[in-house]
Structures are given as structure tokens and as C-alpha cells.
């Protein structure tokens, strides 16, 4: 029933606060019946490495110690779990950017299993028929 | 006359330079007759607390001392005043993200009066029929 | 053949990693036949000064020394060259934000020749009939 197009999230940043915010947006968009494509680049891709996904990725510098404590204390679901819920809820795909894979010398085996594959930026824009949100 | 949809701004960041940039975009979009929804999350919400809105919120790390001085010296209208002007100019609404309210243990009374209410992320996407810009 | 509207990139950040990511998106969008408008604000505009464009602009704080090294080591095309390629490839325009020009006391002569002109934020939204991506 929704005709506003796919929500395309370019996940560039790799801090836990931005990953959490992106995951919350993905869940919300999926809950509203929107298709979501997540495109992992740079530090966002680095955070989705199988051996790092549950590690501490820091927060934005402006958080300050109080902000970081408030965020850590909330006992919220981890962002990786929220992305998993978004995928269960609707049509949510997560792709690694091929250029960034090369930059970090990664292969598909290095990534968390919830990553659906590797994309070039042209493929990303081929499906970007709605908002393109850079996080 | 404009049919490109609502401009949805996710105000995640809480530094004065990004808040100023977001406010300028809100004024510009409102001036062009576009509906604007601002959705306050994390450090962006923190900056809209009634007792902090006029405080110094720092700038992006890349500004450096010269950049920060150039920004501070310009004697420009404060971003909170620009958001107020945007609201006078057009259909601009500012909503606090319910999840972030919980994270910071805030109630509506803690927020600047220009905040119109509290939204969940699903409500946000219900009205997101245009660009979704994460700042 | 593409009717999803102009890709509008607000280039606010001035670090080399975000400029590189933006340039890659501009090339990809142009390759898919989309019109692209880049709007330079704040630290993004500062990075397009003729005398600074090839200087080191740092990277996002979350990169860490390993991340920065991986990025620097890749021997990739400089982002300014990628923007030039995007302009050769399709309809890609780069505009400086008038307000930010004033803030940094710049004139057109201070900017790299690939910048097409100066825009106000209202002009920017007049052409923003697709995604608006803040980087």
C-alpha cells in the first residue's frame, strides 16, 4: 500500500550510537511496510565484521561521558539484533560495498551472516527509488 | 504546488554546526512551500532540552580552532531562532523520539516549548513520503 | 529512463573519508543516469577551496589509526578527481552555499574551478525533487 519507494540507508559510520539509530530506522521503516536496503561502507562495514560486530565501537564525540553512560545504561537490544528483527519483519537487505571490501581486504567469510551480499554503488542506485539516507 | 513530499529531517547530531545547518535547511524547505518534519534523536534531542538549548554544544571535530572561530564570529541568528522562524514560515513540526526520551529519562516538560510532541519511529515513517535526511 | 528525481547531496563534512564516500555516490548516481546536485556547506565547502582541495583533510574520529592507514594505503583516485569524473559522466553540478561563503569570507576565486556557482538554500530546494542526502 506504500508507494514512497525503497528506504536506502548508506551505513558509513561505525559508532554504536549511529548504528543503533540506523537499526531503529530500519525496524520502523520495515514495520510501515517499506522496503529497506542497507549499504555498508567504510566504518559501517568494518562494524559488521563477524569478529567485531559485538565489540564496543565507541560513540560520537559529542556524546560526552554522561551521554555515553545514558546510552550504555539503557539495557537496550544490541543494534545487530535490531537489524535481525528488521529482516524478520519485512523486506530488509544488507549489502557490503565492494570498494570498501577491497579497502579493508575483506571477503564474504569475514562478514556477519546477516549481510546478504556485495554490491557496487551502481547497483545500489539502481534500486534507490526513494529516500537515500547517509548515516 | 509542490509534490515532492515532506522533507523529513532526523536530527541525531547535537553539535552547533550541524544544528545550524539543519535549521538553515528547514527554513529553506519551508520557504519553498515544503512540509518539514524534524525528528529529534540522541544528541539532537539532548540539545533541545529547555535548560540546554542556548548552551554551547561544540562543533564537529574537523572544524578545528580556525573553523570554529569563523563560525562563532559570524554573529548569525542562533539555530533555535532559525527553527522558530521556519515554524512561522511554513508547516514545520518538531517531534522528540520516544526511545531517546526514555534513554535520557526526559519528560515533555524538560524540552523547549517549540517541540510539538513525542513520536515513535513508525509514526515518523508514516509521514515520510519524501526525502529522509539524517543529520 | 529514470524518474526518481535529482540526487541532492548536502556536502557538510570536510574529512577525506566522507568526501570520498560522497564522490563515489556521485559517480554511481551519474552512471545510473541520475541528475546530481552537490551543495557545499561548512567544512565541505572549506575542503573545496582551490588552495586546500588536495591537502590532507583528516578522517572521521572512529577510523582509528588502522582504519586511516587502510584508507590511505589503497592508492585510490582522489575524491576531487572522482567528482571530476562524475561531472564528465553525467549531469552533476556543484554549488557553494552562499551563507557558508560569507562565514568563511570567500569569493568565487577562492574555490576550485569545478565548483559551478553559488546557491542559496531556497534554490537548492527548488531543484530537490528526489532524495536529499546530508553527508
Q: Which of C43, C18, C118, C59 is nearest to B70 (CA)?
A: C43
Percent of chain B with pLDDT over 90: 87
- Strands of A36-40's sheet in order across: A117-119, A92-97, A36-40, A7-11, A132-134
Q: Residue C3: which pLDDT band, with cuts at 50, 70 and 90? A: low
Query: What average pLDDT does this structure show over C109-131?
Result: 97
Q: Is the pLDDT of residue A3 over 80?
A: no
- pLDDT score, position A2: 45
More confident residue, C72 or A102: A102
Q: What is the pLDDT of residue B3?
A: 65
CA B67 vs CA B42, C39, C42: distances in Å:
25, 19, 9
**ipTM score:** 0.93
Q: Which chains touch C (3 or more CB pairs under 8 A)?
A: A, B
Calculate the CA B122 to chain-centre distance: 19
Q: Is residue A59 within 8 Å of residue A109, measured between CB atoms?
A: no
Instruction: Tell me which chain A residues have a C-beta less than 8 angstroms from the C-beta of B39.
Output: none
pLDDT digits (tens, 9 = 90+) for B45-74: 999 999 999 999 999 999 988 888 988 887
Within 13 Å of residue A76, how many CA atoms lie on the same side as its CB?
22
Looking at per-residue pLDDT, the higher value among C4 and A91 belongs to: A91
User: What mean pLDDT is reported for chain C?
Assistant: 94
> How close A74 comes to chain C (CA, Å)?
22
Contact A120, C28 (CB under 8 A): yes
Confidence of residue B76 (pLDDT cuts 50, 70, 90): confident
CB B95 within 8 A of CB B37: yes
For chain B, the average pLDDT equals 94
* Residues of C in Cβ contact (< 8 Å) with B70: 103-105
State which residue of chain C sits closest to A16, comparing Cα positions.
C62
**Looking at the partner chain, which of A15, A130, A134 has a beta carbon nearest the beta carbon of C62?**
A15
Interface of C with A (CB under 8 A): 4, 7, 17-18, 21, 24-25, 27-29, 31-32, 34, 60-63, 67, 70-71, 74, 76, 131-135
Amino acid at each position: 500500500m506504500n508507494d514512497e519507494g525503497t528506504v536506502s540507508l548508506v551505513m558509513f559510520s561505525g559508532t554504536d550510537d549511529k548504528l543503533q539509530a540506523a537499526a531503529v530506522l530500519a525496524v520502523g521503516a520495515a514495520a510501515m511496510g517499506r522496503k529497506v536496503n542497507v549499504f555498508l561502507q567504510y566504518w559501517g562495514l568494518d562494524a559488521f565484521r563477524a569478529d567485531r560486530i559485538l565489540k564496543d565501537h565507541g560513540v560520537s564525540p559529542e556524546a560526552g561521558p554522561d551521554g555515553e553512560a545514558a546510552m550504555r545504561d539503557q539495557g537496550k537490544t544490541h543494534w545487530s539484533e535490531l537489524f535481525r528483527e528488521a529482516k524478520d519483519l519485512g523486506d530488509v537487505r544488507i549489502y557490503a560495498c565492494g570498494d570498501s571490501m577491497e579497502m579493508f581486504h575483506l571477503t564474504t567469510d569475514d562478514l556477519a551472516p546477516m549481510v546478504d551480499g556485495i554490491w557496487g554503488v551502481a547497483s545500489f542506485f539502481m534500486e534507490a527509488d526513494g529516500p537515500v539516507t547517509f548515516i
